[in-house]
Structure 1
Amino acid sequence: MAQTPFSSLDDYIALPRVDAVVLAPDGTRAVLTVATLNKDKTGYDRALWEIPTTAGGTARRLTRSAKGEAGAAFTAAGDLLFVSARPDADGDGDEDAAQLWLLPAGGGEARAITRLAGGVSAIAAVADAASVVVLSADLLPSADSIESDAKLRAERKKRKLSAILHTTYPVRYWDHDLGPAEPHLFALDTGALSDTISSLAASDIADAEPDATTPYPASLPRPRDLTPAPGRTADTAGAALTPDGRTLIAAMRVAQGRAERFALVSIDVASGERTTLLGERSTYFEAPTVSHDGRSIAYIRARFSDPTGPADQELWVAGIDGSSPRRLAEGWDRWPTSVAFDHDDAALIVTADQDGRGPVFRVPLDGGAPQQLTTDEHSYSNVSVDRATGALVALRSSWMVPPHPVRIEIDGTVTVLATPAPSPTPAGTMTEVETTAEDGARVRGWLLLPEGADTASPAPLLLWIHGGPLNSWNAWSWRWSPQLALARGYAVLLPDPALSTGYGLDFIARGWNSWGGKPYTDLMSITDEVVARPDIDETKTAAMGGSFGGYMANWVAGHTDRFRAIVTHASLWALDQFAGTTDSSSYWQEIFTPEGMTENSPHRFVKDISTPLLVIHGDRDYRVPIGESLRLWSELNEHFGEDDGTTVHRFLYFPDENHWVLKPQHAVVWYETVFGFLGEHVHGTPAPNVAGLG
């Protein structure tokens, strides 16, 4: 078998990765965020690279620092903004909080243009025709100014306080605790930058007493708080500025008991005056974007789902003041994953899952039907519109090629652009497979075949089940890479069963409130179809999945003995327990009836498990808390442990990883353990010792 970067885990984690692309205002250049493995192979450093937006040319590195750079955006003047914790030469040299930096379009050194004690979280919005940018940054709840926040933080640090008193739900999200600080939105005028030296020297700041109030540097434009006393409302679901920078349109969080919804709010940047434009109980208004002429907004609207079925994700437009809202593309039940106005404001540029791909669509504002622009086997993201030409710049990927920058012409023609992260040679081929479910539904997926798989040498099969469950196997994932399995001789089946997106609302509804029903039978049906192929060895199969895929792996384990091994990562095991401990419990309890939650809980079938399981979980996983795998592991040992305490099952535990395993050294351990476990049970070869596990 030919050697590729996927043949070696060390080579794989060292591959450079393109995270994002942003288009400059003049449309002639774009900037990529590129991650590369650091020297000790325990993390990734990110830098910004400039590329031309036409074919040819080369990538040029713009930034280089030990802390890295991310969250790039352009100002109307063409200056490049980014967020970084790199040292600020004008700061006190003692803080590592990330700040907003500006790299001038005309050349010169990047400079920090904020000095907030708690740092900058992200760039929320940038005006197209003005020097205004809106930042997301945290302040402690009792702080009434930037200075008082710095004073309060210094006091907590001095006293080594970490306690948080919560008055609202939730208390944590994904992999981090919420609080004590609250998210704010700050407006900043980059046109107010000055090169004059502050009257307070950096040395004076460094030597100030912790309880002293240090003035914000006079040499920097002062951020203006648009959301005083926000609670969690500034945990937005998107924000956009009007081209003149005068008005911010934000999807603000609104508490609804223990749950949350989002309303579209207009904030006057000069005065901070706030007006709710669109908001309804039990309804999400998200992902607002503003037209180039500043007269209209587009957004995604969705009612809360409930146990009777999934709610649709609707595409809407309205006046900039929220007037005359109307739905676009009614009856088009594809769920938008990004929305932008076309160059002439006559249509929206939308990406959406569709049939195992993620095409780009043009949706006319006059009520016409959506037009699909891209027709290849890729998924598109990070789409930017060139105002002058109507061309698009985006990232594109599939299971055969990682994200890379492309240009898309108005007629849909796609041109690959320069990148400092060339695409690696894949370890096999990809083909589309499908079958007909027992209820007549079409169930499809991707089958990746290793080099040399044929009738004479059929490949063992890995069934990989996606997470979500509202998701689709349609784009590259660095975390779950079937290319690594191909390089080790496995074929990989990536199916989209009931609940998957990109096939319409009815297809999702087939598995609603019944995760163990048609999602399971769909998986078995398409597996039956694939193992009947002469290039697949039906006697050597295994299944694996993470999150919902882990749930389904557990369900599969309790309902069939057809697989030789099953890997279950970050999995749901006991739904009654999970629903009350996940970071957003209300959602899960809203979409299931009590009966459905009981009937579809995998833990009820533990006694029926006969397949060896590899259980994997990270302790910083707040989406699927570690208690799920702890209980699964306990019950596996209760029912299948030997008298001497041993078991055929295994538990791989990561104390400092979240829902996914993100640190490169841990990813290596993850894959080595998984492939060792599969080799032991699929091929009958002893599992090797994994380096680093002692």
Structure 2
Amino acid sequence: MSRLSLNDLFRIAVPGDPQVRPDGGAVAYTLTTAEKDADDNRSEVWLAEPGHEPRRLTGGPADLAPRWSPDGRTLAFVRPVDGKPQIHLLPMDGGEPRVLATDGAGPPVWSPDGRHLAFTAPYGEAQAHDPVVADTLEYKADGAGLLRDLRAHVVVVEVDTGAWRRLTEGDFHAGEPTWSPDGQSLAFVAAMEPDRDLVPGGAVYLVDLDGGQPKRLTEQGVTCTGVWWLGERLVVTGFTGEPVGHTRLFALEAGGLVEIETGLDRNVMVGAPGYPGAPPLLLGDELLFCARDGGLTHLFDLDGRARVGGELGVSGATAAAGRLAYVAAGPGSAGDVYLDGRRLTDHALPDVELFPLERRVFTAPDGTPVEGFLLRDPALKQPGPLLLDVHGGPHNAWAPVFDGVHLYHQVLAARGWSVLTLNPRGSDGYGEAFYTAAIGAWGLADAGDFLAALDDLVEEGVADPDRLAVTGYSYGGYMACWLSATTDRFRAAIPGGCVSDLTSMSGTSDAGHLLKTFECRGDLAAQSPLTHVAGVRAATLVLHGERDDRCPVGQAEQWFAALRERGVPARLVRYPGGSHLFILNGRPSHRLDYNERIVAWLEQWVIGSQS
């Protein structure tokens, strides 16, 4: 057995999007790997069934969103053709997949009778060289770039003939559609208000299969974020009031939306890159949903009982024929496919021995308990260097599962480091009061959580107070800047995808207005690390994607320039083409470089400086 190396990035396989066959006997899923020679991520569709080795169904390299036909005889999936995602149909009794839709497509949704597929597709006429004209703040989106007049709309295609028709049009983005039980209409979420870029909005709409004007089904009071027809009722996710609290479950009744009581003070998680979860689903007649509890995303019933829990973190789930399929990560694997609790795949690296994560609870200065996870070699008996790594969000959370993104954690542990991943107030999984505790108080309400944990680890003899470092990404990058500017605790700091100036961020980020208005309300200058940059003494490595529209690269440029002007040892690394999520799904060479640079910087400025 060997320890994890950074090059193991190219051996890690991550399953996702599990889709149980209608008879409940097998699970189709995607499997994503990183290809070194092509410097790209590869995604294929695979099939897992009890008693058989998993087998590949499609050859990739970018196959996504497998969806079973109601009779289970055909598998639809999305594959790019000439750069545009298209729906393909794979006959399960043999044969090659055929292209069904040719105008760009999102994940397909089968009609109950199997005669149609619905999906969203982008529409717009502006060319890449045309001037970008913006009348609202919705003119760009991280990962997509400048939107111009592109809008996502609902499309339906006939399976037999390939004939398709667009059901919606207008200046709005339609969310993923869901079929009515009779197959005669589709529901979707959209924000159609003129000022939706200033005031968060989202309502459920219904459009007939034959087209026509969508009918609004929900009124003010709940901002809807997703909708699914589960059995005979529409289940909706959304939030009440301002968009700063937990996402909740609702059912659309005759009198409007009625909240579905979950028995939990937890945030409903429907799944997104970096935010594990799954849409709500029916297992028989029972409604299940995902929520994060103490860092791990579990699958719950409406009595608040975890149907999939323990040390597993769920990142996708579906049900059919009374059987439950899901993908979950654990301490030794970035993800495996399960069917009714039986593991069908094994994606743990067989020849790699991982250091275990120790769950810890620290006490903040005001007495609030704060959970974290300590990674270190159990054989270490003396104080050593420690890296504090801060998660993003701020409403995300670290989980005690194998981390295939932050590989440097295990590599540093093998070199005698301790790595602390803490879930401070603002983190998800600890109740709504904790979730909202840092609203309007970034750097003020949360910084003490980190420092108190460090004090405890120093006092315990785990951490050497002269060999501390801090890193983090997004909000974590903000906190790496803030802590290095407002304390002298750290010898090195590595902000990634950082936020250094909330004032300029509010006018340049694709989410800047929402951040300013609802998350960081108040004195933006006082909460900005740039205001306090004169206090930085830590050697600082700034890592940033050049096409980051969530935390624009100017945030990194400002921080680097301010440090350089003050003579602080600093380096700026920009990753061409990298969006905000490049450390999750960007070029493998960039992800490897990101990990390598963190290790090298820490060894140079924390370890090397001690000799």
Match of 1:75 in 2: 69
CA separation of 1:263/1:676 partners in 2, compared to 1, >3 Å: closer, same or farther? Answer: same
Does the CA contact (< 8 Å) of 1:547 and 1:569 recur in 2?
Answer: yes
Normalising by structure 2, what TM-score?
0.91
CA separation of 1:453/1:509 partners in 2, compared to 1, >3 Å: closer, same or farther? Answer: same
Deviations 1:607-650 (A, max 9, x none): 1111111111111000001111111111112222xxxxxx5111
Does the CA contact (< 8 Å) of 1:469 and 1:499 recur in 2?
Answer: yes
| Equivalent of residue 589 in structure 2, options 657, 661, 665 | 665
Return the offset for 1:299: 1.1
Distance (Å, rounded) in 1 between the aligned partners of 2:234 and 2:259 = 12
- Secondary structure, counterpart of 1:134 in structure 2: strand
| Equivalent of residue 550 in structure 1, options 455, 477, 487 | 477
Match of 2:223 in 1: 284
AA paired with 1:350? F
Does the CA contact (< 8 Å) of 1:444 and 1:497 recur in 2?
Answer: yes
Does the CA contact (< 8 Å) of 1:540 and 1:564 recur in 2?
Answer: yes
Match of 2:239 in 1: 302
Does the CA contact (< 8 Å) of 1:342 and 1:348 recur in 2?
Answer: yes
- Secondary structure, counterpart of 1:255 in structure 2: coil
Does the CA contact (< 8 Å) of 1:170 and 1:584 recur in 2?
Answer: no
Return the offset for 1:670: 1.5
Distance (Å, rounded) in 2 between the aligned partners of 1:538 and 1:405 = 42
Are 1:242 and 2:180 matched, yes or no?
yes
| Equivalent of residue 294 in structure 2, options 355, 358, 369 | 355
Are 1:123 and 2:107 matched, yes or no?
yes
Return the offset for 1:509: 2.8
- Secondary structure, counterpart of 2:386 in structure 1: strand
CA separation of 1:246/1:489 partners in 2, compared to 1, >3 Å: closer, same or farther? Answer: farther
| Equivalent of residue 397 in structure 1, options 305, 315, 329 | 329
Normalising by structure 1, what TM-score?
0.81
CA separation of 1:686/1:42 partners in 2, compared to 1, >3 Å: closer, same or farther? Answer: farther
Deviations 1:551-603 (A, max 9, x none): 01111001211122111011111111111110022211212576432321111
Aligned-residue CA RMSD (Å): 2.5
Distance (Å, rounded) in 1 between the aligned partners of 2:502 and 2:22 = 49
- Secondary structure, counterpart of 2:293 in structure 1: coil
Does the CA contact (< 8 Å) of 1:77 and 1:131 recur in 2?
Answer: no
Distance (Å, rounded) in 1 between the aligned partners of 2:260 and 2:535 = 49
Match of 2:398 in 1: 473
Matches within 5 A, 1:214-613: 221-228=162-169, 230-234=170-174, 236=175, 238-257=176-195, 258-259=197-198, 260-280=200-220, 283-292=222-231, 295-305=232-242, 310-319=244-253, 323-329=255-261, 332-338=264-270, 339-345=279-285, 347-363=286-302, 369-386=303-320, 388-389=321-322, 391-398=323-330, 400-408=332-340, 414-419=341-346, 425-450=352-377, 453-455=379-381, 457-474=382-399, 477-481=403-407, 482-591=409-518, 595-613=522-540
- Secondary structure, counterpart of 1:336 in structure 2: coil
Are 1:16 and 2:22 matched, yes or no?
no
Distance (Å, rounded) in 2 between the aligned partners of 1:604 and 1:38 = 42
- Secondary structure, counterpart of 1:3 in structure 2: coil
- Secondary structure, counterpart of 2:308 in structure 1: coil
CA separation of 1:470/1:591 partners in 2, compared to 1, >3 Å: closer, same or farther? Answer: same
Distance (Å, rounded) in 1 between the aligned partners of 2:460 and 2:346 = 38
Distance (Å, rounded) in 1 between the aligned partners of 2:236 and 2:514 = 22
| Equivalent of residue 22 in structure 2, options 21, 25, 32 | 25
Distance (Å, rounded) in 2 between the aligned partners of 1:113 and 1:523 = 53
Distance (Å, rounded) in 2 between the aligned partners of 1:34 and 1:341 = 22
Distance (Å, rounded) in 2 between the aligned partners of 1:592 and 1:39 = 39
Does the CA contact (< 8 Å) of 1:461 and 1:537 recur in 2?
Answer: yes
Return the offset for 1:224: 1.4
- Secondary structure, counterpart of 1:599 in structure 2: coil
Return the offset for 1:20: 2.7
- Secondary structure, counterpart of 2:137 in structure 1: coil
CA separation of 1:649/1:540 partners in 2, compared to 1, >3 Å: closer, same or farther? Answer: same
Does the CA contact (< 8 Å) of 2:76 and 2:108 recur in 1?
Answer: no
Distance (Å, rounded) in 2 between the aligned partners of 1:502 and 1:34 = 27
Distance (Å, rounded) in 1 between the aligned partners of 2:299 and 2:92 = 30
CA separation of 1:546/1:561 partners in 2, compared to 1, >3 Å: closer, same or farther? Answer: same
Are 1:168 and 2:105 matched, yes or no?
no
Match of 1:47 in 2: 44
Does the CA contact (< 8 Å) of 1:31 and 1:51 recur in 2?
Answer: yes
Higher mean C-alpha deviation, range 482-491 or range 393-402 = 482-491
Match of 1:137 in 2: 121
- Secondary structure, counterpart of 2:499 in structure 1: coil
CA separation of 1:536/1:129 partners in 2, compared to 1, >3 Å: closer, same or farther? Answer: farther
Deviations 1:356-402 (A, max 9, x none): 21111011xxxxx322223312211211012x22x311111145420
AA paired with 2:117? V
Distance (Å, rounded) in 2 between the aligned partners of 1:463 and 1:68 = 35
Distance (Å, rounded) in 2 between the aligned partners of 1:585 and 1:51 = 43
Does the CA contact (< 8 Å) of 1:466 and 1:549 recur in 2?
Answer: yes
CA separation of 1:106/1:594 partners in 2, compared to 1, >3 Å: closer, same or farther? Answer: closer
Match of 2:157 in 1: 188
CA separation of 1:421/1:357 partners in 2, compared to 1, >3 Å: closer, same or farther? Answer: closer
CA separation of 1:552/1:168 partners in 2, compared to 1, >3 Å: closer, same or farther? Answer: same
Does the CA contact (< 8 Å) of 2:542 and 2:560 recur in 1?
Answer: yes
Return the offset for 1:477: 4.7
CA separation of 1:576/1:246 partners in 2, compared to 1, >3 Å: closer, same or farther? Answer: same
CA separation of 1:463/1:40 partners in 2, compared to 1, >3 Å: closer, same or farther? Answer: same
Return the offset for 1:133: 1.6
AA paired with 2:137? Y
AA paired with 2:163? R
Distance (Å, rounded) in 2 between the aligned partners of 1:419 and 1:48 = 16
Does the CA contact (< 8 Å) of 1:514 and 1:596 recur in 2?
Answer: no
CA separation of 1:505/1:578 partners in 2, compared to 1, >3 Å: closer, same or farther? Answer: same
AA paired with 2:62? G
- Secondary structure, counterpart of 1:628 in structure 2: helix
Distance (Å, rounded) in 1 between the aligned partners of 2:390 and 2:421 = 7
Distance (Å, rounded) in 1 between the aligned partners of 2:459 and 2:291 = 32
Larger Rg: 1
Does the CA contact (< 8 Å) of 2:121 and 2:152 recur in 1?
Answer: yes
Distance (Å, rounded) in 2 between the aligned partners of 1:128 and 1:361 = 26
Distance (Å, rounded) in 2 between the aligned partners of 1:574 and 1:654 = 20
Deviations 1:521-567 (A, max 9, x none): 01111222233334544442211001000001111001211122111
Distance (Å, rounded) in 2 between the aligned partners of 1:395 and 1:377 = 13
Match of 2:274 in 1: none
Match of 1:37 in 2: 34
Does the CA contact (< 8 Å) of 1:22 and 1:31 recur in 2?
Answer: yes
**Unpaired stretches in structure 1, ≥5 consecutive residues:** 87-94, 142-152, 194-220, 364-368, 409-413, 641-646, 688-694
| Equivalent of residue 576 in structure 2, options 651, 655, 665 | 655
Distance (Å, rounded) in 2 between the aligned partners of 1:580 and 1:244 = 46
Return the offset for 1:68: 2.8
CA separation of 1:425/1:269 partners in 2, compared to 1, >3 Å: closer, same or farther? Answer: farther
Distance (Å, rounded) in 1 between the aligned partners of 2:7 and 2:179 = 43
Return the offset for 1:488: 3.7
